Amino acid sequence: MWLLWESFVKVEVLGSDSWFIHCNVDLSMNGKDESFVLSCVYGNPKLAIRQMQWAVLPLLKPQNDEKWIVMGDFNEVTTQTEKRGGRPFNYVQAIPFS
């Protein structure tokens, strides 16, 4: 997994694994400063492994009122319209995203 950024962005990696990069981000654009915690995620295609990943993800949430952005490829769909072919959509798998 890679995380790239522009020179006006300061990134401090707080932790990482093969499936996530967790960091503090400070950016300054047009005279405005923003800070937030960013978690970039790759959800494993295997459901059992992905469920273990989702159990870890809440542990990364900041303990204070700091902004937290979670983004990436979750390898999950939330509605039948996002899916083509294969097994039918399973709503139970989408519950963590609701």
Contacts 24+ apart (CB under 8 A), 32-38: 35/66, 35/67, 36/66, 36/67, 36/68, 36/69, 37/62, 37/66, 37/67, 37/68, 37/69, 38/68, 38/69, 38/71
Confidence at 98, pLDDT banded by 50, 70, 90: low
pLDDT score of 33 = 93
Domain ranges of the chain: 9-97
Is the pTM here over 0.85, yes or no? no
Whether pLDDT at 61 is above 90: yes
The rounded mean pLDDT for the chain is 90
Q: Assign a CATH topology to domain 9-97.
A: Deoxyribonuclease I; Chain A (3.60.10)
